[in-house]
Structure 1
């Protein structure tokens, strides 16, 4: 497993991390035992970066992580969590220092630690990025010792660019994949200038870029790929990267032709992201140990050749860009 530096945190982390949304909820039935096995497998494969949130299963994900790390003992991986989506209603005025501190206190308890490695504002309303008092409150939480670093998880490139104007923002989590290429055109360069770590989520477009989803695939009622296809519960960009299902399936068939015969398509899609040097870590999820091991193995793949990279760019331009590029 290759490592990269997480921006100004200075932490050396695995370039493939573990996204812990699936072991929390909203991905159909993933048992606690399967979630634990998936996380153990990732850690056994060299992963040392875990990303979770306080709303994943209402704390279930954080508690599973705590249990696994207690079982393993030894040196702890870097654990990032997120806060803010517990607000009801989820509005900008709810993002106060007091509310965020209360959420942090809950995550400290769920994860069984005295200090959180990284707390990220969890896709807040755009207005939040224009409220410097909140970022000052986060600085105070660092000074208190409750968090080591803080960052933001964003929906839009514009939000990411605004967030990194604040000197305390150490990381930005953003959707970036073969179907969502806009971040590479400006944001990556700006983040690199400011030594901001980049955490890439939704790398497989909710499984579409695994090549295993088809028109007849059935998703469980509690799977967001069923209930959030049009943004009914949260930003539609989080589900299938916001690409209309039929258009995405057409693009997947074009991309399949570019994948080497001995490489799983999911690993190929992860490797494509790692071609971008400013990326610090990619955080695919996993429902089981096999998926976790396969995700981690993407770190060992050789670079994608220039011809294939150009062909991928052409598929994006022809089939995907019109649906997503200016929206996010």
Structure 2
């Protein structure tokens, strides 16, 4: 496992870390025992950073991580998110009363005295232009409720605005073989400010595993069945906003470029780690075998330039027209 510095926190976190959305829900059926086994396998492989949110399974994901923390002697860092419990999810809801209540609930779920890292959970665009919201987070740090804070964003423009706030330690943003735009400007600006980057949706909702087909079926509660056009939340969260059929064709082109000795999943994850600005990628895993495949990618050698060039070519041909200008 590789370790990289997260922002200005002083933490060294695993370059491949654990995204806990899938073990909470909206990714099809979840078995708690298997989820727990996947978490422990990640620990065994050197993972020390886990990302969750209060809405993943309405707290299930947080509670599983709280239990994991009690079961290990290893130092682990847990990042969670707040904001998406708002109904409706509007700018005005990002106020002191609500944010404080969300933090208290997450502290209880995680069985912690202070949250390691709290992230605003893809708030509406106007929130990034409200210094008072970030002032509330500063006060929560001063009160000892959170150690550090960051943001999870949908768009590059939001990320660029967020890092203007001096205490933002991290930005979580979709970055993968199907989403290249963050590397154009945002990475450079984040590095200048020593802001950590968490690459989320690293496998494009599973498309980049190469295990999906045109006739693949998804459970009714799986967002890959009900959010392809953004019916429930931002379209970019599902398959990175790429049309499913187009994505399958692009995956076949990527399969031809995949270096010998690694799976397509590992190729996709190792590709992300080629960008030094990225602190960590956070693939999910519902079973130990998935954790094994995902996290072993950190031990693979750097990708050769022809493979990197092939990824760029596939993106330019199949994906750029679909997503580049949107997010």
TM normalised by structure 1 equals: 0.99
Q: Which residue of 2 aligns with 1:81?
A: 80
What does 1:74-113 align with in structure 2 at a 5 Å threshold?
A: 74-113=73-112
The residue number in structure 2 matching 1:245 is: 244
Aligned partner of 1:123 in structure 2 is: 122
Residue 148 (structure 1) aligns with: 147
Residue deviations 1:65-91 (CA, integer Å, cap 9, x gap): 11122222x133010000000000000
Residue 260 (structure 1) shift: 2.2
CA distance in structure 2 between the partners assigned to 1:92 and 1:171 by the alignment:
21
- Do residues 208 (structure 1) and 207 (structure 2) align? yes
The correspondence of residues 115-194 of structure 1 with structure 2, limited to 5 A, is 115-194=114-193
Partner of 2:230: 231
Q: Which shifted more, 155-164 or 285-294?
A: 285-294
Q: Distance in 1 between matches of 2:64 and 2:14?
A: 20
- Between Structure 1 and Structure 2, how many residues are aligned? 327
Cα distance in 2, alignment partners of residues 75 and 223 from structure 1 = 33
Q: How do 1:299-314 residues align onto structure 2 when only pairs under 5 Å count?
A: 299-314=298-313
Equivalent position of 1:262 in the other structure = 261
Higher mean alpha-carbon deviation, 106-115 vs 95-104, is at 95-104
Match of 1:297 in 2: 296
CA distance in 1, matches of 2:220, 2:273: 33
| 1:135 Cα deviation from its structure 2 partner | 0.4
* Partner residue in 2 for 1:10: 10
TM-score, structure 2 length as denominator?
0.99
1:206-260 deviations in Å (ceiling 9; x for gaps): 0000000010111011111001111111101000000001110110000000112
> Which residue is 1:218 aligned to?
217
Question: Which runs of structure 1 show a deviation greater than 3 angstroms over 4 or more consecutive aligned residues?
Answer: none
Q: Is the 8 A contact 2:118 2:149 kept in 1?
A: yes
Deviation at 1:25, TM superposition (A): 0.4
| Matches of 2:94 and 2:213, distance apart in 1 | 40
**Shift in Å, 1:60:** 0.3
Looking at structure 2, the residues matched to 71 and 150 of structure 1 have their Cα atoms a distance apart, in angstroms, of 25
Work out the CA distance in 2 between the residues paired with 1:6 and 1:79: 12
Q: Distance in 2 between matches of 1:76 and 1:104?
A: 22
TM-fit CA distance, 1:282? 0.5
Alpha-carbon displacement from aligned partner over 1:53-108 (angstroms, at most 9, x marks no partner) = 00000000000111122222x13301000000000000001001221111000000
* Post-superposition offset of 1:262: 2.1
CA positional deviation for 1:34: 1.1
Q: What SS is found at the alignment partner of 2:8?
A: helix
- Give how far 1:287 is off: 1.3
- Aligned partner of 1:274 in structure 2 is 273
Distance in 1, Cα, partners of 2:307 & 2:264: 13
Aligned to 2:39, the other structure's residue is in SS state helix
Counterpart secondary structure, 1:9: coil
| Structure 1 unpaired stretches of 5+ | none
Question: Aligned to 1:278, what secondary structure does the other structure show?
Answer: coil
